[in-house]
Structure 1
Amino acid sequence: MVLDRLLAFVDAPEQLVQLILEHKINTLWGRGLEYIAEPDVPTAAGLDLLEQR
């Protein structure tokens, strides 16, 4: 219900997700923690096939 109401303030659900992530990062940073995003590198050779199983 809360997410439905918040969607009225953004143009797309992706924008809402980005705002939530930014809030989460700022909250963690305020507590002395650092958010490290998943790296944008391909998986090791064949590892992606194992993850699909």
Structure 2
Amino acid sequence: MAVGTSGRIIIDLDPNMKKKIYQKLKSEGLTMKQWFEIKAKSDFPDLFEKNKK
């Protein structure tokens, strides 16, 4: 998979799964971006720590 320099992440999903994910996120009051950021911070907290000098 190509990795570009923009801030975009592109994932191919089954259209039905995509619809279900968006419906679930909407019911929880989240956007896909918000959910992804929450998950990324939870799974990779070291990537989000402020630089300590």
Tell me the TM-score normalized by structure 2: 0.41
Larger Rg: 1
Tell me the TM-score normalized by structure 1: 0.41
